[in-house]
Structure 1
Amino acid sequence: MFPNKKIGTKEEFWNYLQQRRKEESMLGCARKDETVEGQVIIDGEPTGILSRHAYGLLDVFTIESQENGEEFKLLRIRNPWGKTEWVGDWSDNSEEIEKYRKELDVYVEELEDDEKFEIGEEDGTFIINFEDWSTIYNKLYVTIDFPPSWTGFRFTDSWNKGNSGGLPMPSAGITAKDAQISWGKNPQYLINQNKNGTVEFFFSLAQNDGRIEGKYIFPFVEIIDPICLIIYPAEDGKAVSKFDGSKVNPAWISTVVEHKEVSLRAMLPKGKYIVVPSQRQPSSDERPYYLSIYFNGSIGEVSFKNLKNPGNNGEEIKEEDEEIEVSQLRQDIIKTRLEDIYDSNVERKKPKIFN
């Protein structure tokens, strides 16, 4: 995986984890394996890590050897079951734990009281080094608590018979060419990134919760559609009439999933961009959605415009609204999906239609 032209180096990913932890984001991880349940086996040996099981990622930290100054990149993980822990390097009672016990005791002592733990206890909490963690786990979940320097902006809108264009790829009865033209019917939102340098953006496209009406069952197909977000370059700031895959960075295309929400993270240089939310297939039904855009800048440095519906130019998300949303995120553990450890920067192949 490392180095990767989208993820970057392992050091850059470590820095990303540290930054999310510094911002007090809620972190989790898992080993996703479609065919295997139970303990992950490496080189014939059980690791203590359970496949298809969610873990809390409690901390990202370093310790320095008092003997020679060597630095170790470590993570503190918790199995919510309170048992079944990692058994490799830096695990309870390992050689590393014994050798660097003084350094680890200092680390624990500096934690807040409600985070302190007993090293060596069978309580579900364990330490693992970054090398082993990034090898074994392949899913990272992040609930971002945006810092004060970030701004949020939201469009509340809907797809309908007149603006539902579907994805720019062929499907039953629709050719690739027709799908690319149809995609241009979708709602389009212009972003003017006026700030010198690069701005980090987080995009969320959400639908109504399928449980609201209380009469549908999962996967709530009556309310929830497979949806997707695409960020498209816009040199002239005008709506695009059809899709041209040669202009699109594959990292600026979300997955297509039948979920309440899809999300996308992107680093955008100064320039103009169009955000296009779409359903998998064109639909004549009225389908509400909420496009939320967070970025590390201010209104003025970044501005927005609804290209297809000028009467709806969205609104800034106020701090009190953000607090409510963060509370809801924490309750529901809504996940900012980072596939294969870093969603928007994962090496991703374009579907053929995007080439």
Structure 2
Amino acid sequence: MPPPDMYKRHDDEVGSSNNPVKFQYQDYQLLHKLYLSNKMKYIDDSFPANFSSIGKGLLSDRDMALVKWKRPPEIVSEPCLVVDGVSRFDYAQGSKLGNCWFLASFGALSCQQDIMDKVIPAEQSFDKDYAGIFHFKFWRFGKWIEVVIDDRLPTINDRLIFVHSRTPNEFWPALLEKAYAKLCGSFADLQGGFVSEALIDFSGGVPMHFDLKEAPANLWNLMESAFKSRTLMGCSTPQGASSKNTVLPNGIVEGHAYTVTGVYKVMSRGQPVRLVRMFNPWAKGEWKGNWSDESSLWMTVSAEDRKNCLSVADNGEFWMSVEDYTKSFDNMDICCLSPDFLDVTSKCSWTSKYYFGQWTFGTAGGSRNNIRTFWTNPQFRVKIEKTDDDCAVGKCPENILVSLTQYKENRHRKQFTNLLICFCVFEIPPEMKAETGKFPVSFFTTQRPLAGTNVFQNLREVMKLFRLEPGEYLIVPCTLNPGENASFVLSVFTKTQCRK
């Protein structure tokens, strides 16, 4: 049993998708009904149309003086939330905000209609029952949160200064960005980040991180399985010598986030070629090497493959070989609701548990270097079941995925400095399986961890996919130093054999 400071969130609790937490206690249904009945347009005083909502460092004093907050009906004559469905080609990044990490997740999100429907609730429009109020849902640190906004958007000379749709009268990208900015504190709080963060906040999934310089041999097969199972994928390029997003001669942008939107295998000159399709959230700027839009290699494949893959539009989307992909990008995140895609042809499934805890006075024991206090860290027991050979190996020999996410209850995303975190996994000896409560300091002086993240990282999430033999284990999440305070979510996925 988990100790009292950790618990599993049930589907019917507040914080589930069907019953999200009301951010700042704002109830969309009540507010919408009130303003509609009074024939008024909603004004959100908690995210006002002024400098505080934009934040520091984004705009010059001159630009700030030119900003006017306008509702979509004041910008165009016939505004729409969505025009002809949601697409990754709908939007382009604003020039004033470096949030490509967030917008790259738009590209992944727009490919998954079921997730998009959860993030952007239905029955919102500028036509029927319009009252200047909209709401969106995000997954934040183990719970779904409903964010209510008014539709006033910052403009200069009647042009949106942050994300905007390529269709002038479509506003879902701008309103979604505003809702996320409100959740994170301000637009400035969206400056800089990791693709995995936004993918998680949109889906409630668990990230699987890959260092592409040490990519596994089966990387493309993993990506193919993820794509077929409609799993979100994003990646980023190494930062160049400057902090600017320099465009390299091959068309790739340094220090930039991209979306993985497809994988495909073609036959070229009698040899199989494994391709990856990428999307640049700038909605322009593409790879210029082999298998790019203008590459002559497309003439070496079948007419059917050209029809299925090739597009010469300068829309930011392009193909490249998996070999060029691993050379051009330095990391990739696969955000899965379940690791089932790893075993798509096996007889296995994955079960999940989410636990919520805190490092506080008395439960923040620090790393194993602090052996006298390490035992005070929260502890979680997990059991690995025995499975038959087909399930034990399958397409994925690993049988457990653990993710640790840290957070603090701070409105502003940029004001939270990540602690150095890690988790350790210990085997519980047979003679100690009957123990209840926390394992004492003596346990940790005699037992060494079998697995874990090994090194401390100052990231919001750390994860590990690995294999354990059948048995019982203890997972201990910890910070580097004793006495460091933060909350955390521990997500544990384990492989089990499907039962008839």
Q: How does the TM-score come out when normalised to structure 1?
A: 0.64
- Tell me how far apart the structure 2 counterparts of residues 189 and 259 of structure 1 sit (CA, whole Å): 21
Aligned match of 2:197: none
Match of 2:254 in 1: 51
In 2, distance between residues paired with 1:245 and 1:52? 45
Corresponding position of 1:261: 461
Q: For residues 284 and 247 of structure 1, do their structure 2 counterparts lie closer, same or farther at Cα, with a shift above 3 Å needed?
A: closer
1:127: how far off? 0.5
Q: How does 1:1-355 map to 2 (within 5 A)?
A: 10=217, 12-33=218-239, 35-36=241-242, 37-39=244-246, 46-65=249-268, 68=270, 70-100=271-301, 102-108=303-309, 119-146=311-338, 149-169=349-369, 179-196=370-387, 197=392, 198-208=397-407, 210-211=409-410, 214=411, 218-221=414-417, 225-236=419-430, 237=433, 239=439, 241=441, 247-248=448-449, 252-253=452-453, 255-283=455-483, 287-297=486-496
CA distance in 2, matches of 1:92, 1:240: 62
Does the 8 Å CA contact 1:164/1:284 hold for their aligned counterparts? Answer: yes
Q: Flag the structure with higher strand content.
A: 1
Deviation per CA, 1:231-263, whole angstroms, max 9, x where unpaired? 2333344636365799445x6216534444333
Compute the RMSD of aligned alpha carbons: 3.3
* In structure 1, distance between residues paired with 2:440 and 2:261: 44
* Alignment CA distance shift 1:76-1:234 (3 Å): same
2-side partners of 1:34 and 1:245: how far apart?
46
Q: Deviations over 1:134-184 (max 9, x none)?
A: 112111022113267322112223233223210124xxxxxxxxx234323
Answer whether contact 1:39 1:48 (CA < 8 A) is retained.
Answer: no
1:52-102 Cα deviation digits (max 9, x unpaired) = 10011111221124x63x211000111111211111111111121233261
Residues in 2 aligned to 1:206 and 1:9: alpha-carbon distance in whole angstroms: 24
Change (3 A) 1:185 1:16: same
The alpha carbon displacement at 1:22 in A equals: 2.2
SS at match of 2:386: strand
> What secondary structure does 1:33 align onto?
coil
Go from structure 1 to structure 2 and tell me whether the alpha carbon gap of 1:120 and 1:141 turns closer, same or farther (over 3 Å shift). same
C-alpha distance 32-231 of structure 1, shift in aligned 2 (>3 A): farther
- Output the CA distance in 2 between the equivalents of 1:247 and 1:133: 38
Question: d(CA) in 2 for partners of 1:39 and 1:283?
Answer: 42
What amino acid maps onto 1:50 in structure 2?
A: V
In 2, the alpha carbon distance for the partners of 1:139 and 1:63 equals 25
The amino acid across from 1:20 in the alignment is A
Cα 1:137–1:244 change in 2 (3 A) is farther
Return 5+ residue gaps in structure 1 as ranges: 109-117, 170-178, 301-355
* CA gap 1:217/1:20 in 2 versus in 1, 3 angstroms: closer
Which residue of 2 is the match for residue 337 of structure 1? none
The answer on whether the counterparts of 1:64 and 1:71 sit within 8 Å (CA) in structure 2 is yes
Partner-residue secondary structure (3-state), 2:467: strand
Q: Which amino acid aligns with 1:291?
A: L
Q: Is the partner of 1:218 in helix, strand or coil?
A: helix
Q: Is the 8 A contact 2:381 2:473 kept in 1?
A: yes
Return the letter of the residue paired with 2:237: R
Q: Is the 8 A contact 2:298 2:306 kept in 1?
A: no
Quickly say closer, same or farther: Cα 1:207–1:140, change in 2 above 3 A: same
1:344 alignment counterpart: none
Task: Note the C-alpha offset of 1:273.
Answer: 2.1
Q: Distance in 1 between matches of 2:237 and 2:446?
A: 32
Whole-angstrom CA distance in 2 between matches of 1:217 and 1:59: 31
Q: CA deviation at 1:275?
A: 0.8
Structure 2 unpaired stretches of 5+: 1-210, 341-348
The residue type equivalent to 1:191 in the other structure is V
Amino acid at match of 2:287: W
Q: Alpha-carbon deviation of 1:277?
A: 0.6
Larger radius of gyration: 2
SS in 1 for 2:333: strand
Which fold has the larger relative contact order, with Cα–Cα distance below 8 Å and residues 6 or more apart in sequence?
Answer: 1
The whole-number CA distance in structure 1 between the counterparts of 2:498 and 2:420 is 31
Change (3 A) 1:264 1:74: same
